[in-house]
Every structure is written in structure tokens, then in C-alpha cells.
Structure 1
Amino acid sequence: MRNYLLLLLALTVSGSMQAQQTQKPPLHGKHWMAVTGKPLAATAGAMIFQRGGNAVDAACAMLAATCTMWDVLSWGGETQALIYNPKTGKVIAINALGVAPTGATPQFFKGKGYDFPPEYGPLAAVTPGTPGGLCHMLANYGTMSLKEVLAPAMEMAAGYPIEAQTANSLERGKNHIKQWPYSKAVFLTHPGEKREAPEAGEIFVQKDLLATLTKMVEAEQQALKNHKSRKEAIMAAYDRFYKGDIAKEFVRGCQEQGGLITLEDLSRWKPLEEEPLHVNYKGIEVYKLQEWTQGPAMLQSLNILENFDLKAMGYNSAQYIHTLYQTMNLAFADRDFYYGDPYFNKDRAITGLLNKEYARARAATINTAHNDAAAGPGDPYKYMGKSNPYLHLLDDRRQFMDSTNGRKPGGFLPKHDAAALLTPTATGNIYAAGNSDSAYQDRLWRGTTSVEAADKDGWVVSITPSGGWIPACIAGKTGVGMSQRLQSFVLDSAICPFNVIAPGKRPRVTLTPSMALKDGKPYLSFAVQGGDTQDQNLLQFFLNVVEFGMTVQQATEAANINTNQLWLSLGGTTVSERIPRPGSILLNSNTPQKTRSTLEQMGYHLSFGDRTSGPVNAIYLDRTHQSLWGGSSNHGEDYGISW
């Protein structure tokens, strides 16, 4: 393995884009490509392509299939997408994230003793977004009917051989699952036995979910019989989910188990089509969703990194790793403080955050010899010609994050957080978080999946769906697992004034599809699972291709680093479980000893993993040969099919 990595490094540093040996073979396609987090779901996409569908049709089929397979998402979760439309030459952003329900206020959750909304159960739920997002994408940019696109998922709901990862997740989560009667009935197929969850390979049947999907298809088909257009018929299925009998049962089942979602919450919600954000990095236009996601943190990082000669540093040299780490810390500090639902924030900072002059100023603050444990948010408003309305909160925050001045958090943390005050460990560069490293890493990496699709006609799709993962609370007899995304809100403006929970508001999420255009044409489509590490891994994947000449498969497998010097977005209901860990860094186990020693001297606290590549899924559009290259990391179950 070590010799392989050294060979890979030599090849990539030389700038070669020729195919080289990788642990998984690269995908090559002429007509279409489908890549996602589950092999069966990739097959669903391939089936739709073979039946004449475009990349949007196939992406919707893969989305439906992954939702039906649980583990990292389900039908009650959320969908975020970028779509390149070859007819207009534009990148379209889809916001299908649910909102906080009626009654979801800071006072409500503080009254229950929470510092953050809960991780699991009905009180963790935002309104479902994936059914609406899928219908919107299919109706506006697909070519097929909902009946055709949902056919693979419906066949799976009728019974499919469950894979080991999901089956074992159900067994591990069964104590949670037993709290919720509808989840227990679906997931624990062997009640009272030593193993109550399905075994790997067992045919897993979801009658209630199949009934829900059938109702949506029935609504579509009835509308077609009534001479409605394809788009109108698909939206009739949408209405049945959000306003009809499915909605009523969803709300009944949610509220019966203690949830807050109302019929009005469902009927008022709708997916949004937006302008994506983008920056130019050395002639390549990189696109992300708006700051209701963490996606702009990658754009900020690219703006900062333009000010350094990364290629001269060398792939994963100590100086390169240090520069990446410091850059990501600055970008994520801004994410942690300035990002949130733009429809609720009149004082948006995103224009300043993506300003090139702001990036140059941030780059100039980087200490090239040592980690900055006190790196915090900047002041982007001066680059917008405005005064920063949150300077008083920034002052409090800087005092709190400065681990060398001996001050206590004081005004930064609300009174109810007093028990969570932290002290530095003996190393001086990592905070003790009051929980095990394994629990922390689970929260940092908490999974989702990704969907990538492209076709010969130029349609390209990148989706990062999530929510409703195991252990999921199912809403009544719908078979639909509720999202757990409410936990990504904060309850105090001192942590992030833009992301304080409120009814009808979207939380700031980690989910972050990506797309890049070169010379006005699609160049890369890429996404990854992994909570707060998503834009860290995607940034490095992009640099692997653009700076170090790796093929798309090499770039998905290449060793990445992760920073823990950020506020966790998922998991834990106390400040001590979410607070940044300055200087804490994850490296690949094959990192040379000289690099390790240099980083320790720079103030880092090191941890290691055998596979630190993502898992990233990606498509490279080869304009020279008019073909498609696919990459899927060797990290997990991610899989692709092409033709």
C-alpha cells in the first residue's frame, strides 16, 4: 500500500493526467454515467438511462432508491442539487431543505434543557424536502413520468435484499428504534430475538412506504387521464404528499410521537430554485449553493488559496497541509458565524465573504510557521461598504476562542452553558470535549450520500441528499422517516446570529453538491458525504485534479486531511460536544514521519485514519475526447455505472 501511494504521488506531482493504477477502476462512458452511494441505487440510475431518460431522470431515480435503502437518508429528509442545463448554458440551484415547524423556538428547546435541538426523534425533524425536490427537478428538467422514475424504488420497497451496512445500523440503533412504534414495526423484523434487525441479504419489505409511493403515482396517473400536462401531473403527486391524505397521516404520526410539524407547515413549504454562488479559480468557475449550506466555505477557501503556490509546496507536504488547514479554519470560522437561511437575514454577509480582496486580507493573516488556535471570523462587511452589525458578538467570540489569554468564556456563552466550560489539555492545542473521540468523529463525519449523473446531451446533475437516517422515527403509516436536520440550528445568537432556530426557517446544513465549468462548459461534477468534512474533502479533491494533475479516480482515492477546528453541525446537545478543537487534525496513516514531526512542531495534535479520501463521487467531462470519466472513492459503498 505504501509503495502504491508513493507511486501515485510521483505520478500526480508530475502532472500526468494519463490513466494510472488505482484501487478501484475509473469509469469511462460515452453516452451516460451514474454514480451514487449504493450499488443498487446506481443500478436504478442505469435502468432509467437505458430506458431513454436524461441525467435528471436518472438522478431522481437514484435519489428515490437511496431514500428507500435508509442508512444515511430516507424519504422524509432533504435534497440539495446543482443542475447544468445545456439548453441555457446555466447552472441551476435547487433548495429542497425543510423548515423548522410551528413552535420550534429557542425558548421551547431551552425549556427542555437543550443547548442545541436534539439529535433524534420527532423533535429533531424539519418538514420533508426530498419528495418535493424530486418532483420539482423531474417536472421542470426531466423527460419521464414519476411512475417511470419511481419504478425501481417501488420495486425495492416491495422487497429488496438489505445490505450489511444498513442491517447492522438497524441492530445498533434498535434501542432508539424501540421508542417509536412505527419505526419498530418496520425495522425490527425479528422482535424478541437476539438479533432483532434484518440480516444482511434478507428481503426487507416496506409495505407502508410502497403504499405512499403508490399514492403519489396514482395522483400523477389520474391527472394524466384528466388531460393534465406531464409537469402538472407530477405536481399533482407533489400536492398529494404535502396537502392530501399522505400529509394528514404524516402529521398525525409525527404529533402522536411528540413532534411539532403541522398540516400548515407542510402545505406552506415548497422547494426553491435559486442562483448558485460561484468563484473563479485560475480560470475555472466553481459553483456552490447559497449560504444556507456550508458550500461557500469551499469557495472562500479557493479565494484564499489563490494567494499561495500550492504546486510548489507539493502534494500533502507539511507546508501544503498547514496552508490548507489554516485556510479551512478561516473559511469555517466565517461559516460558523455568518452562514444561515438567507431568506431570514437582511444583513447577509456573503458578498463580502466571497470578495477577492477579503480573501487576500484573510490570507495575509496566516502564520506560515504555526497553527493559529484563535483563528476566528473576519469582517466581510467593510468589503461591502457597510458596518458590521455583529462586532460586539465577534469581540466576545475572540475572547472565548483565545486559548492563551486565560479568560473564561464570559459573555460569549449564555448562562445555561456554564457547566460546559472547557479547559485546554496538557498539549495546549486541543480542547477536551467531555466525550470520546469515537463519538466526536461520528458527529464530525455523520454520513449522507451523493448522486452524480451526466449524459451525452450535456445535462449534468450533482445532489447531496440526506436526513431521516437510522435510527429514524417513522411518521405514522406513511413509511417515511422524519428528518433530523433541526439539530443544525443554534439556540443562541452568540454562536451564530444567522442560524438561530425559528418557525419556517431553514437550518444551515453541511450538504454541499459541487460543479465546475471550464470555458463555459461542464468540467467537474462532484460531491461527498461526511458532515462537516464535506467541503474539506471536496476542496482537496478539486485541488488534486487542478493543481496536481490527478485523474478523477486518483483524486477521489487520494489521502486528505481534516480539521476539527470548527463548530460541529451535527450530534450532541451540549456546547462541550460541539465546540472547536484547535489544532486537531486527521492525517492518513501513511503520512511520513518527517511530515508528522514537522506538523507537531507547528502546534498540531495528530490523529490518523487508513482511508481519508471522502468518500467522494465525481464525474469529469473530457472535452478533448468527448467522453465521461467517473470516479468513486475506495472509502465506502459508493458505486458507479456508465455506458
Structure 2
Amino acid sequence: MKKLSALICIIAILPFSLKAQRTQKPPLHGKHWMAITGKPLAATAGAGIFQKGGNAVDAACAMLAATCTMWDVLSWGGETQALIYNPHTKKVIAINALGVAPSGATPEFFKNKGYNFPPEYGPLAAVTPGTPGGLCLMLARYGSLSLEEVLAPAMEMAAGYPIEAQTANSIERNKKRISQWPYSKKVFLVHQGEKREAPEAGEIFVQKDLLATLQKLVDTEQAALKAGKSREEAIMAACDRFYKGDIAAEIARGCQEQGGLITKEDLANWKPVIEEPLHINYRGIEVYKLQPWTQGPSMLQSLNILEQFDLKSMGYNSPEYIHTVYQAMNLAFADRDFYYGDPAFSPTIPVKGLLSKGYAKERAALIQPGKNLANAAPGNPYPYEDRQQPFQKLLDIREQWVENPGKDKPGSFVPKHDATYHSENKNEMGWATTKDLAVDSLYMDRLWRGTTSIEAADEEGWVVSVTPSGGWVPACIAGNTGVGMSQRMQSFVLDSILDPYNVVAPGKRPRVTLTPSMALKDGLPYLSFAVQGGDTQDQNLLQFFLNMVEFNMTVQQAAEAANFNSNQLWLSLGGTQVKDRQPRPGSLLLNRSTPDATRSSLEKMGYSLQFGDRTSGPINAIYLDRKHGSIWGGSSNNGEDYGIGW
């Protein structure tokens, strides 16, 4: 192995030397491997694992552990979902490491507390941790190194690393909420009583409890190996200690002490799952997503709809193109908001119908030139799998309720942990007007951090796409474990009228926004891509994919390209009342670089326009160049996301 210093190819902002490429960052190029994620230090951790001889799964696990330790809007008590291409079987498999609602989490429980949705923050927002189990399962089945080797970078950081300004300032902004939880206060507010209680940027941030927890996992693995257990058995023994041993006991105790519902039995009964992903064919390319416990199938539905149109002839981000893609996304999201949920809990979800080409043609016929379909509603996919619609009465009631929601005003533009808007002027609907709805610095800071993404690939053929999340600042830490608990409970609904498949129940997974992506061409990996950003994830990933397939952009150009976002959907995160989540028909976020002529055309179509400086994601992606036998990496220009290749 060559020395790491000789291997690093770093994404940097080089505007002058890249004029010909018209990107702010250069693409990454590698022959042997590629590692990209949301934090520079975490990308370095992945590169170090490759240097040790690990494969892409090992590197992805190391990056996952590092980003969790750095609180990149996720922590160890969050959730992990991944797609992995196995070059030996030549198949894409899915990792489902999303936690479940704990005992006592029922609609009645939350309604009695005055909620229309489960809470955003605190111990009652927590589903059971998924990331430790997901990491162990991926590593044990598909990796090659030990848990000790893969966790080494994260453990070194837990012992103390220089915290970056984004996380440090987020802690300071949220210190009032953090101070409500004793274990979070102990970890995050290191200067209690001072004007600034959070760490300063560059200060060595120490997490002793988390380090002790990770050390317990490594100790268990090593003891199992000494006892003659196989590598896989030893890693899963460490997993069992987290979910069934002393770590689990402390998580349950700490959660319940602070008012949460998670029990030792909830932890012991949970396990990560290897499952079949969903996929569709778009113009000869197989596109893979996770099952409908995520919003991932909405991108597949959108592609099926858009296959009915000649997008290339419309032109990238022309008014006609923006309108058509916006409409397709809204139709897919209307189905997402009513039909998606945990298939293990509700096996009758009409996935086959939703992804059928015939259903897509029916939905595409609803798109009218130059006019927004403001009342886009769930369709009826059941006939496309020879079944009858079981929820027609519910849909009739829902249509009347949506059309007459009372005086409730639409809620935030994107999930509240990702964005904040300010405006002085509002129109008669109570919405900020086109010229007054500004994106402020807090919005941009939170958008940059968001949920993280992890992409890895190697010359053996392993390709990994991960979108982990949960336990973001302000996180409630579970006892003396250093583990921040998930806030994913808020993605459930409490009433069937919103989504009969996603009503909260003990042991059930919420329908989440987290959505890694992969595409195969001629039976081999072509693209691996993911992004942060709540409900905007599959919108930005859809456009990234189209940028490459329809408009022949390079992976870096596609990652940086200006996207647009719809908010004509029910928000998956943020707010406990109906008014916080309602769709905003015709609301369209554009890049500030959008030409005046395009703006004018869209306004004439009836769209309400808002603008952002950077609307590219931020997307992380890997392109497998079969012509040259090389690996390309792309990382958008609007966050801390960073990659290294060799």
C-alpha cells in the first residue's frame, strides 16, 4: 500500500482553473477506490480504511461511524438505510436499519398530549436506534475488516476532535432546548454558565461516554474472536451487546428517565433487515430504491411518468421542463403521502401498481401544459395489480378535508430542522409573496448540514450508497451512553385520513424521507447517489439523474447544477399540528440564477416563486466509467461534503 499522503485527491473550490468545466469543484477521479461523505474528516476516515485494504463496505461503515460521532445532523441512535452492489452475486441488496415505534406509541397516546403528529424533539420523538445494528450487519455480511479497525477513526474522534463551526454554532443556537436534558447538557454545553456555553469552533470536543460505549462494542468483538467465534459472529456479538446487554439497559433507563417510551424489550426485539430493493427501467437504465418505508419509490414513480415526455427537447430547466418535472413529482408525492408505509407491518401496500408503466401513463395524462394541478390527489394503483381500491370512502373524505382545511395556513417550506424563512409581506392566502420570501442564513446553515450521505466504490466492484440520519442537534442523549436518540417518530401520522399505511403503532417503522439511490446500465453499476434535505431528497436526486441521462452532464456538473423544488406535498418532518405540514400548491423554489424570462413564464403559469442561492442538494455521487475503467466522484458545492479518491 502506498502512503495516504500520496493518494489523496481532494475536492476543493477552484473557480478560476475550472472555467472550462463550469463547476466550482473539480470532479474526483480514481482507479482503485472512491470515498465521499458529508464531512472532510469522515471522508478521510473512509480513505484510511481503503488504505488498510478494506473494501467499499468497510469504508462506508467507517464514514458512517465518523459522521455519527461528529453529529453531522445524525448520531449513533439514529437510522441507517443503504443500497449495496455485490460484485460476486451481481445484485443490488438493501439494508433496512430503521428503528421502530416503541411500546406505548399509539395515536391515542400522542393525541391525548394535544399533538396532531408525534413531537419533533426529545425522548418522545425517538424510535429505537438503528444505526449500530445496520453498521454491524453491513460490515459482518459484506465487509472484510474487523469492527475494531472500522470503528478506530470514530473512537479517536470521540476521544477528542476539533469541532467545526457549523456543529458548534448549532449547539449554541439550540442550547436552551439542550439544557432541558441532563445527559445532553453534560455532553454539549461544555462551558456552562458562560455567555457561550457550546464549544468554540476548533475546540477539542470530547465525548467520554460515547467512547466508552464504542469500546464496549470492540471489547465484545475481540472477546468473541478469542473464544473461537468467526469474524461475522464476533461482530454480531457486539451488536447484541448494544441491543440486548448493558448498553441497551442504559439506553432504556436513560430514555425513560427523561420521559421516553423505549424499553429493553423494544431494543431486544428489533433487528436490521436485508431486503430486496425496488427498481424500474428508465430508457434502458435500471434505477434502484428502497421499499416504501422510505419515500424512495416516489422517484421511481416520477421517472415512469417522465418517460412519457421528450425531456431532452424541452431543454435543461426551461419553463416547460420545470413545469413537467414539477407536475410529475407532485403526482408521485400525492401517492407517497397516502400509500407509503412499513410493508412489514402492512404487506398490502400497492407497490406493484404504483410502479407499473400503465399506472404511470394514467398519471402522466393528468399533466396539463402551462397549468399547475393544484389539487393533485392520490391515484388508484390497485387495478394495476388486479385489486380493488380499499380506501375509496377514506379518499372521498380526505378530498373534502383537504379542500376545506379551515383557516390553517401552510407550514414551513421544508422540514424545520433544515430551514427557516422570514417575510414581512404575505398574500391573501397567508403565504409569503414571490419577492419577499427570502432564504436566510439559518436556513442555509441547516440545509448544508442536513441528513448526511455516504458513497463508496472500489475496483473489486463493491458500490455502496447510504443515507443515514436521526439524532441531530438538539438531540436528547440516552443516559450515560453518549448516544443521541432519533427524532424519526415525527414521520408517522396519527390519522388514517393522511396515510392509512403510516399510522403510528408499536413495532412499526415510520415512512422516512431517507433515500439512497443506485443505477445499473448493461447489468453493471452506473451511478451511486444520495443527498440530504428531508422531502427535497428525491426531488434533487431525480434531477441529478436526469441531468446525466438526458443532458449528458458529468457527475460533478450534475451535482452542482441548479435544481428546483416543489412544496406541494405533506411535510414529513417539523411541527405537531396540521397547519405545520399542509401542502403549498404551486410553491416553487428556484435558483437565483434563473433567467427573468423563465421566471416570467412560470409566474404566468400561476406558480409562486421563491429563490435560493444554491439549490443543488447537496448531492454526493459516484459514476462508474466503464469506457475507461475509472471511478468518478461528484459532490455539490453547497455544503461541507467532501471526497477522496485514488
TM-score interval, normalised by the smaller of the two chains: over 0.9
- The verdict on how the C-alpha distance between 1:429 and 1:302 changes in structure 2, with shifts beyond 3 A counting, is farther
Deviation at 1:395, TM superposition (A): 1.6
Q: What letter is aligned with 2:354?
A: L
Q: How far is 1:398 from its partner?
A: 2.5
Partner of 2:470: 467
Report if the CA contact (8 A) 2:140-2:232 is conserved. Answer: yes
Structure 1 pair 600/400, CA: closer, same or farther in 2 (3 Å)?
A: farther
1:414 matched residue in structure 2:
none
Q: Residues 445 and 607 from structure 1, CA distance in 2 versus in 1: closer, same or farther, beyond 3 angstroms?
A: farther
Paired residue type of 1:34? A
Counterpart residue identity of residue 318, structure 2: S
- Cα distance change on mapping 1:175 and 1:233 into 2, 3 Å: same
Q: Distance in 2 between matches of 1:25 and 1:240?
A: 43
Partner residue, 2:368: 367
The Cα RMSD (Å) is: 2.1
2:600 to 593, 597, 602: 597
**1:83-482 equivalent positions in 2, closer than 5 A:** 83-402=84-403, 408-409=404-405, 420=408, 447-482=450-485
Deviation string, structure 1 residues 155-204 (Cα, Å, up to 9, x no partner): 00000000000000000010010000000000001001110000000000
Equivalent-residue separation in structure 2 for 1:432 and 1:362 (angstroms): 30
For structure 1, the 5+ residue unaligned runs are: 12-18, 403-407, 410-417
Q: Which amino acid aligns with 1:164?
A: A
In 1, Cα distance between the equivalents of 2:317 and 2:383?
34
Q: Determine the C-alpha separation between the residues in 1 that align with 2:174 and 2:286.
A: 42
The residue type equivalent to 2:391 in the other structure is Y
Is the 1:371–1:603 contact (alpha carbons within 8 Å) kept by the matching residues of 2?
yes
Structure 1 residue 349: Cα displacement: 1.1
Deviation at 1:351, TM superposition (A): 0.7
CA contact 1:446–1:531 (8 Å) conserved in 2 = no
Residues 413-435 of structure 1 show CA distances to partners (whole Å, capped at 9, x for unaligned) of: xxxxx774779x986788689xx
The secondary structure found in structure 2 opposite 1:344 is coil
- 1:446 Cα deviation after fit: 8.3
Residue of structure 1 equivalent to 2:618: 615
- 1:347 offset after TM fit, Å? 2.2
Letter in 1 for 2:274: E
CA distance in 1, matches of 2:140, 2:281: 31
- Map of 1:520 onto structure 2: 523
Correspondence 1:546 to 2:531: no
1:532-571 aligned at under 5 Å gives the runs 532-571=535-574
- 2:605 maps to amino acid: M
Once the two structures are superposed, the pairs formed by residues 9-88 of structure 1 within 5 Å of their partners are 20-88=21-89
Q: What is the identity, as a one-letter code, of the residue corresponding to 2:295?
A: Q
8 Å contact 1:74–1:469 — kept in the other structure?
Answer: yes
2:583 to 574, 580, 583: 580
Q: Give 1:438 deviation, angstroms.
A: 6.5
Question: Which residue in 1 is equivalent to 2:532?
Answer: 529
Q: What amino acid is the match of 1:633? A: S
SS in 2 for 1:279: strand
**1:568-608 deviation digits (Å, cap 9, x = unpaired):** 00010110010000000000001011100110111100000
Partners of 2:454 and 2:530 within 8 A in 1? yes
Q: TM-score, normalised by structure 2?
A: 0.92
Distance 1:562 1:421, change over 3 A: closer
Q: Note closer, same or farther for the CA distance 1:34–1:426 as it changes in structure 2 (3 Å cut).
A: closer
Equivalent position amino acid for 2:380 in 1: D
- State the match for 2:505 in structure 1: 502
CA contact (8 A) 1:65 1:153 kept: yes
- Give 1:415's aligned residue: none
Cα contact 2:72–2:452 (8 A) shared by 1: no
Of 493, 497, 508, 2:496 maps to: 493
**Cα distance in 1, alignment partners of residues 447 and 640 from structure 2:** 19
**CA 1:431–1:357 in structure 2 vs 1: closer, same or farther (change >3 Å)?**
farther
Size of the alignment, in residue pairs?
613
- Provide the residue aligned with 2:636 in structure 1: 633
Partner of 2:75: helix, strand, or coil? Answer: coil
CA drift of 1:399 comes to 2.8
In 1, the alpha carbon distance for the partners of 2:410 and 2:31 equals 55
State the distance in 2 between where 1:236 and 1:419 align: 54
Matches of 2:54 and 2:94 in 1, distance apart?
21
Distance 1:174 1:513, change over 3 A: same
Give unmatched runs, 5+ long, in structure 2.
1-13, 412-424
User: Is the contact between residue 525 and residue 618 of structure 1 (CA under 8 Å) also seen in structure 2?
Assistant: yes
Give, in whole Å, the separation in 2 of the partners of 1:597 and 1:578: 28
Q: In terms of mean alpha carbon deviation, does 260-269 or 385-394 score higher?
A: 385-394
Identity of aligned residues (%): 76
Would the aligned equivalents of 1:160 and 1:205 in 2 still touch at CA under 8 Å? Answer: yes
SS in 2 for 1:618: strand
TM-score, normalised via structure 1 length: 0.93
AA paired with 2:200? E
Helix, strand or coil at the partner of 2:344: helix
Which residue number in structure 1 is paired with residue 10 of structure 2?
A: none
User: Which letter does structure 1 place at the counterpart of 2:561?
Assistant: A
Relative to 1, partners in 2 of residues 1:120 and 1:322: Cα closer, same or farther, differing over 3 Å?
same
What is the letter of the counterpart of residue 390 of structure 1?
Answer: F
Structure 1 residue runs of 4 or more that deviate by more than 2 Å after TM superposition:
396-402, 418-423, 425-433, 436-446
